[in-house]
Amino acid sequence: QSVLTQPPSASGTPGQRVTISCSGSSSSIGINYVYWYQQFPGTAPKLLIFNNDQRPSGVPDRFSGSKSGTSASLAISGLRSEDEADYYCAAWDDSLSGWVFGGGTKLTVL
Amino acid sequence: EVQLVDSGGGLVQPGGSLRLSCAASGFTLSTYTMSWVRQAPGKGLEWVSLLSGGGSTYYADSAKGRFTISRDNSRNTLYLQMNSLRVEDTALYYCALLGDTYGSDYWGQGTPVTVSS
């Protein structure tokens, strides 16, 4: 069982906006930055969002992140077929003195 | 160009040992806080261990007492010594830069570890 809680799956049609939630605790998301990763089968994860809501260069502005209290969200607007992947949230947990990941959300573009 | 190359994985019996390596190029490992992250077949990401630039180490509970993270600055290489391996340690192991507040994102290609009799 992961320390951060994500829905196992999400879906949408091309052009739609989808959101993926990530629930943590006061010792993780509540006081530390949230990071979001995208992973395609057979490849290493790629950073999508850092510091809760910042995009690395090269990440389309269709991807956005937000945080409120002990929860965070990743939003993908203008959904495309190439967005079909697994998405993970991550944060440092002060109580555990370690990084914690969500269990991952498999996004399907219908 | 920044590159991380993971190696050292393989098939090992329960109770055995392996040493994973992560050779870095294009940046100096010792100036970053680097982690090992693993992914069991068909499962999600799990953080294993971290070595800060200053030399502090942290371990997931699953790794404490069995795994040791270290670094050779002359070789610009990160290591993970894994002892007393268990079947549940079977996974693809990545070295990675996690949590960089400037948005840097470095991952190795992963090296597979299979623990089986």
Cβ-Cβ contacts under 8 Å, B109 against chain A: 44
Q: Which phi and psi (to 5°) does residue B106 adopt?
A: -125, 130
Please report the pLDDT score of residue B15 as a whole number.
Answer: 98
Angstrom CA distances, B117 to B18, B80, B114, stand at 15, 22, 10
From the CA of B36, how many Å to the nearest CA of chain A? 10
Q: Is pLDDT of B107 > 80?
A: yes
pLDDT of residue A2: 74
**SS3 call for A54:** strand
B21-74 pLDDT, tens digit per residue, is 999 999 999 999 999 999 999 999 999 999 999 999 999 999 999 999 999 999
pLDDT more than 90, % of chain A: 97
A71-93 mean pLDDT: 98
Residues 6+ apart with CB under 8 A from B19: B8, B79, B80, B81, B82
Q: Which residue of A has its CA nearest to B100?
A: A50
Name the residue in chain A with its Cα closest to that of B50.
Answer: A98
Q: Indicate yes or no: CB of B47 within 8 angstroms of CB of A98.
A: yes
Q: Which residues of B66-86 are buried (b: 16+ CB within 10 A; e: fewer)?
A: ebbbebeeeebbbbbebeebe
Q: How confident is the model at residue A50 (pLDDT cuts 50, 70, 90)?
A: very high
Contact predicate B47/B28, CB 8 Å? no
Spatial separation of the C-alpha atoms in residues B84 and B110, rounded to whole Å: 21
Average pLDDT of B6-33?
Answer: 97
Q: What is the DSSP letter of A56?
A: P
pLDDT value of residue B82:
98
- Tell me which residue in B59, B101, B108 faces A50 most closely, judged by beta carbons: B101
- Checking if the pLDDT of A1 tops 90, the result is no
Q: For the segment B75-106, what is each residue's pLDDT rounded down to a tens digit?
A: 999 999 999 999 999 999 999 999 898 989 99
In whole angstroms, give the CA distance from residue A32 to residue A51: 8
CB contact under 8 A, A44 and B94: yes
| A40 has a pLDDT exceeding 90 | yes
pLDDT at A3 over 90: no
